Amino acid sequence: MRAAILAGGRGTRMEAIYPDLPKPMIPIAGKPLLEYHIKTLSLQGIEQIALIIGYKADVIRNYFGDGSAFGVHIDYIVEKEPLGTGGALVLLPREDTLLLFGDVYFDVNLERFINFHKEKGAAITLFAHPNSHPHDSDIIIIDADEKVLDWKSKNDKQRGDLPNLVNAGLYILSGDSLPAGEAVKRDLELDLILPLLKKGKVFAYRSAEYVKDMGTPERLASVERDVQNKEKLS
């Protein structure tokens, strides 16, 4: 399996702290977040990686190069204009792909995640967990077979009282679920996930493993504390 990382974000909520860095390059315990992604993938045997970049793309390319220094091979997809969370996916090979958000730190067993996807025969599998801020997260509703029945957007003001089961920002997309056609602006949720959800082809892999976004200064500080504590114990 190959991986693709959405790494084109500007990170407007973090500009006061890191005004000159693309969000995936913000340091955690002295290393860019994106470096943790790539090293985790390499250690778990995923060596073919596509980085989807845009804002300050050269900062990322100059740091990682072709990936050989990190034990992987990196291809770059450069968005001249922002294509949303799904637009650049048409430029990926039509193979099963682990899709990651570049502003999410994770420490998970990817083999178990991948095996679940294959066992379910899913078109798309979401990594799902409870988190500390469900009020501003996308909530998913599942059945006893882990099939996703509904998706309540964080922007839905009328979604009511729901269980704390959150889309964590890690996905596996089967090759035939990747979009085709031109590289135009698309939304991963609206244009890819929801249509397949209605066909019963989206599943949720539930796990308590560590996945946390660092999109605000407070969450960044929390992730950094966790990483530093982990390194002290290892």
Q: In this predicted model, what pLDDT tens digit does every residue of 175-193 receive, in sequence order? A: 999 999 899 999 999 999 9
Mean pLDDT to the nearest integer, 24-35: 93
Mean pLDDT to the nearest integer, 51-72: 96
Look up the CATH number of domain 2-233. 3.90.550.10
Among 100, 96, 101, 148, smallest CA distance to 118 is for 96
pLDDT the model gives residue 157: 67
Q: In this predicted model, what pLDDT tens digit does every residue of 113-128 receive, in sequence order? A: 999 999 999 999 999 9
Mean pLDDT to the nearest integer, 20-45: 93
Do 198 and 151 touch, CB atoms closer than 8 A? no
pLDDT the model gives residue 158: 65
pLDDT the model gives residue 229: 86
Cα(34)–Cα(45) distance, integer angstroms:
17
Q: Is 150 helix (H, G, I), strand (E, B) or coil?
A: strand
**Confidence grade of residue 155 (pLDDT, cut at 50, 70, 90):** confident
Cβ atoms < 10 Å from Cβ of 230 = 12
pLDDT the model gives residue 162: 77
Least confident of 36-40, 132-136, 148-152: 132-136
- Percentages helix, strand, coil for the chain, rounded to the nearest 5? 35, 25, 40
Computed over every residue of the chain, the mean pLDDT equals 90
Q: Which amino acid is at 129?
A: H
Q: Which two tokens stand for residue 88?
A: 């650049």
Asked whether the predicted pLDDT for residue 234 surpasses 60, the reply is no
Token look-up 């892999």 returns 205
Virtual CA dihedral for 227, 228, 229, 232, nearest 10 degrees? 120
pLDDT the model gives residue 137: 77
pLDDT the model gives residue 232: 65
Q: Which two tokens stand for residue 87?
A: 């637009």
